Amino acid sequence: MGNVVSVSVSSSFEPVLSRFFDCTIRRAKHVRDLKDNLKALDAELRQLIQTRNDVTRRVRVDEQNQMKRMDRVQGWLQEVQEAEAQVDKLLQLKSQQTDKLCLGGYCSKNCKSSYEYGKQVAEKLKDVANLRHEGAAFQQVAERVPDDDADEIPLESTILGLESTFDKVWKCLVGEEVGIIGIYGTGGVGKTTLLKQINNKFCNELQSFDVVIWVVVSRVPNFEKIQEDIGEKIGLKDEFWKKRSLQKKAGDIFKILSSKKFVLLLDDIWSWINLTEVGVPIPNSKSVSKVVFTTRSFVVCGSMKADKHFKVEFLRDEEAWKLFEENLQSEVLDHPDIPQLAKVVAKECGGLPLALLTVSRAMSCKNTPQEWRYAANLLRNSASQFAANDIEKEKENYLVEAGTRLTQAPEIGKWVGVRKISLIGVDMTLVLSQTPRCHDLQTLFLNKGTLAMVCDNFFDFMPSLKVLDLSLSRALSILPVGVPKLVSLQYLNLSHTPIRELPVELKALTNLKCLNLENTSVLQTIPRQLISNLQSLRTLRMSKCGITLRMSKCGTSAKYRTEDSVLFDGGGGVLVEECDCLEYLNVLSITLRSYNALQRLLSSVKLQSCTQSLFLNGFHESTSFNIAALATLKHLCQLEIREWDGSDMVKVGDVQKIQESSSFYSLHNIRLSNCNCLRDLTWIAFIPNLKFLSIDKCGGMKEIINVEKLGEAPGMMSDLIPFQKLQFLRLILAENLKSIFGKALPFPHLKEIYVFYCPMLMKLPLDANSAKEHKIVIKGEEKWRKNLQWEDEATLNAFLPCFSLVCNFIYICFKNC
């Protein structure tokens, strides 16, 4: 029994004894390491102070640039200050505490005091080290300080009649899923007033937006000024930032606005503004941010891709009179005859707020009936004269001779002081043999005709020329030698011309933003590094460059080729590399002649985002390419494939990739020619917004959409209805084509079916319910029309009146081309 008790006591005593020794050892450690910890604490504090000084200097530099130190940096600096005071207090006790140590520092004359002091030193050493590491990790110590969320804009008076439009716009801003809103209407109708009212309401009701930005754009937009106005509002306003390049400013603006819920108010837009170029993230219907702009043109609402647009109408008579009356002194209307005359004057202003305000202020002190009668007569009789005067003013800045048979340019004396010249005419044969002096000329149209001759010095005195359009000039095989001298040129259009070569001197056009070479089918030579040197290019259009075939003496076809030209070197691969060097490029249409060149295009993130039109011409070396490879081209609008010698473009397994890809959402125009290997185009069923489909000389094609293949596609929807947006269907020289689709389709937007020499196509996918809401045109040969089979009598009766016959002569032309 005694043994049991002994064992029990011993077992219960062991944990207590263990904890006692652990505690004793830990306490002894604080005493034993005291001297080393004091030395380490002193060194760690010095390093912390150095880190603190570095951070403080960075803060001061940023604050001098009108930035604000971050709260966590300020908190850290305060913690460092407190830690420094606490360490100093501990170090003041250093001598007193170390004198108590004995036995070589392993023991103390006052164990309790030495332990408590040693514990404080060890803990503070750890705190100081952590503070130092935290300070060294600061990547950013201050941030840009934005102005107030919204700045109130002085507004002389509100305009009655704008309330309804205001309410609609405000509802879109705070409620509906709308990203971009356009407000349009005649000049002086009150658009700017409306936009100011919206801005000022945000001053009191910011809702959940972080910042509201007001920018005046005006007729000729200054992108640098626009960027500075935006930057001023979001804290980017120091002189150093203002000296940065437009692209770097755009990057800074984009970085800040992407993290904010913003409203951008753009007043007085006259043409399309590239928001991306400015640095503004483009809102959409899912975005939390908004862009609202005013413009005189409804067309601008379209080019800006406004989700909603509202027209500001002229004021009704009652509203116009109330606005007019507000600006008249009360004693003026006391005269019994003046109120009626004043209403006549107000009505002559036509409901235009600007006119009402201007005239009413001018008449505010006129207190005799005679003065009011005179004003009414003047407005009534002068309205047409004012309009006519505005049109002489226009003619002073424009020289237009279009649609006439010009054989020589207008007298050079007429060119002086003119800003825009248009000499356009399909039938003209123009000789430009003199050198005009037109230093103010900014735009010159010499297109749609025959430029028989341009003298070498013709462009010598056009230093301000920004736009030159030579498109559709049928005789322009050589670029005029003076074009490279136009150093201010921003837009050059040579499309649809027989030009054969671009001179290397075009490198001098460093301000060129848009170069259009589309359908320059006999263009042979573009020197290396010419394209890549045009570093300001935003838009480059080169679809169908150098694609014309010519007949050699032996009767075989041979392409015009210059091997050192970027058009043909590497099948277009060198051209792709040069395009990839263009920093600002955002629109590209291009012709490629090899699979390797296409692979280079698809491997470039930049070119993936800006390629809008792609022409693949003769991939003879490849049989593996399929359309699904183009899924990364998010903005591809037009696709043309010519002379495809490979197998089917899409396997069944690739259909799902096409179906799920959002990239083909923009694709609306597809053309295929001389692709004899293709048996069907089933993948087209998954192009949701296809509007134009052309199939030309594809002799092996038997059907356009194979219903069985659709059923085999992974995740295929059984109720898929293709061609929902199709407007034009063009089928030419497809002699084995038997079917477009296996059953009738609704075709809600179809306008025209063109069928030529497709003798096996005996039935169209139509029934009495197809194209029910509108009339379509069906063009084809008489023989084909007679052999067509119809779903039923009702279908025949519905579409027989839609036929327009094509003569056999056209067949001969197509067959030989």
Into how many domains does the chain fold? 4
| Final residue belonging to a domain, choices 453, 488, 523 | 488
Residue 72 lies in domain: 14-143
Residue 606: inside a domain: no
Residue 494 lies in a domain: no
Cβ within 8 Å of residue 336, ≥6 positions away? none
Q: Of 332, 364, 396, which residue is a domain's last?
A: 396
pLDDT of residue 66: 60
pLDDT given for residue 389 in this prediction: 45
Return the structure tokens found at 554: 């032996």
- Residue entry with tokens 């134009």: 692
- Say yes or no to pLDDT of 502 above 50: yes
Evaluated on CA atoms 305, 179, 691, 603, the torsion sign reads positive
Contact 729, 693 (CB under 8 A): yes
In the chain, the largest separation of any two C-alpha atoms, in whole Å, equals: 136
**Range with lowest mean pLDDT among 7-21, 439-453, 619-633:** 7-21
Instruction: Specify the pLDDT at position 659.
Output: 63
Residues 6 or more apart whose Cβ sits within 8 Å of residue 574? 528, 566
Q: Where residue 252 sits, what CATH number does that domain have?
A: 3.40.50.300
> Are both 72 and 202 inside the same structural domain?
no
CB proximity list for 582: less than 8 A, separation 6 or greater: 531, 532, 534, 535, 537, 540
The reported pLDDT for the residue numbered 542 is 93
Token pair 């042979």 is at which residue?
524
475 assigned to some structural domain: yes
Is the pLDDT at 786 greater than 70, yes or no?
Answer: yes
Residue type, 304: M
Q: How confident is the model at residue 480 (pLDDT cuts 50, 70, 90)?
A: very high
Assess whether 303 and 363 both reside in one domain. no
Mean pLDDT of 62-77: 77
Contacts of 476 (CB under 8 A, 6+ apart): 451, 470, 494, 497, 498, 499
The answer, yes or no, to whether residue 164 has pLDDT greater than 60, is yes
Residues 392 and 419 in one domain: no
* 533 within a domain of the structure (yes/no): no
Read off the pLDDT of each residue in 698-706 and give the average, rounded to a whole number.
91
- Both 125 and 263 in one domain: the answer is no
- Whether 624 shows a pLDDT value over 70: the answer reads no
Q: How far apart are CA 143 and CA 123, in angstroms?
A: 34
Flag whether 220 is in a domain: yes
Confidence of residue 427 (pLDDT cuts 50, 70, 90): low
Q: Show the CA angle centred on residue 291, arms to residues 289 and 295, nearest 5°.
A: 170
Q: Is residue 784 part of a domain?
A: no
Query: Residue 662: what pLDDT?
Result: 57
pLDDT of residue 656: 61
Same domain? For 24 and 125 the reply is yes
The residue with greater pLDDT, 402 or 319, is: 319
pLDDT on residue 448: 78
Question: What angle in degrees, to the nearest 10, is found between the helix axes of 573-580 and 595-602?
Answer: 20
Pair 298, 194 in one domain:
yes
Residues 18 and 75 reside in one and the same domain:
yes
447: left (phi over 0), alpha (psi -120 to 50) or beta: beta
Q: What is the 3-state secondary structure (H, E, C) of 558-620?
A: EECCCCCCCCCHHHHHHHHHHHHCCCCCCEEEEEECCHHHHHHHHCCHHHHHHEEEEEEECCC
- pLDDT on residue 765: 94
Arithmetic mean of pLDDT, 290-305: 85
Residues 229 and 288 in one domain: yes
Whether 252 contacts 241, CB under 8 Å: yes
Beta-carbon contacts of 537 under 8 Å, excluding residues fewer than 6 positions away, are: 512, 513, 514, 515, 531, 582, 584, 585
The whole-number pLDDT of residue 313 equals 84
Could you read off the pLDDT of 302-321 as tens digits, one per residue? 888 888 888 888 888 888 88
Q: Are residues 325 and 215 in the same domain?
A: no
Does 204 reside within a domain?
yes
| Distances from the Cα of 512 to the Cα of 244, 466, 505, 586, angstroms | 21, 8, 13, 14
pLDDT 10s digits, 98-145: 656 565 555 655 566 666 777 777 887 888 889 889 888 888 888 765
* pLDDT, tens digit, 9 for 90 and up, residues 171-222: 888 776 788 888 888 877 788 888 888 888 877 665 677 788 888 887 777 8
Query: HSE of 450 in the Cβ direction (CA atoms, 13 Å)?
Result: 8
> What integer best gives the mean pLDDT of the chain?
79
Average pLDDT score over residue span 695-702 = 92
Among 278, 311, 344, which residue terminates a domain? 311
Domain assignment of residue 270, yes or no = yes
User: What's the CA gap between 627 and 408, in Å, rounded?
Assistant: 50
